[in-house]
Amino acid sequence: MGLDVKKTIIFRQVGAKIAYYRTLRGLTQIQLAKRIGISADTLGQIERGKYNNNILLSMLLDIAEELSIDVVLLLSFTDQDKQMW
């Protein structure tokens, strides 16, 4: 598996985790986006793993803070997660 493919998968996994925790907290994309100062379209792209293949660490920190989770949860993957790749 090439590096570009791995990056694409990781961005999708990070986005899926953001969507999961956002939904768990009962927030819409619009609500979370407003709270962290980005557009709902941008958040939607991040959640789909389509945000220019580049999510700023500061943005991930803001998202994690607003979702009341440790940013590590967004960036770590279990063996089960990796098997899906």
Looking at 1.20.1260.10, 3.40.430.10, 1.10.10.10, 1.10.260.40, the CATH number of the domain 3-76 comes to 1.10.260.40
Q: Per-residue pLDDT tens for 19-64?
A: 999 999 999 999 999 999 999 999 999 999 988 767 899 999 999 9
What is the pLDDT confidence band of residue 16, given thresholds at 50, 70 and 90?
very high
pTM score: 0.89
Tokens 């768990």 belong to residue: 24
User: Would you state the structure tokens that stand for residue 9, as one six-digit string?
Assistant: 């998968």
Query: pLDDT-derived band of residue 5, with 50, 70 and 90 as boundaries?
Result: confident
Residue 18's closest CA among 84, 7, 40? 40
- Using CA atoms, how far residue 8 sits from 30, 33, 35, 53, 70, in Å, is 24, 22, 26, 7, 22
d(CA 28, CA 19): 9
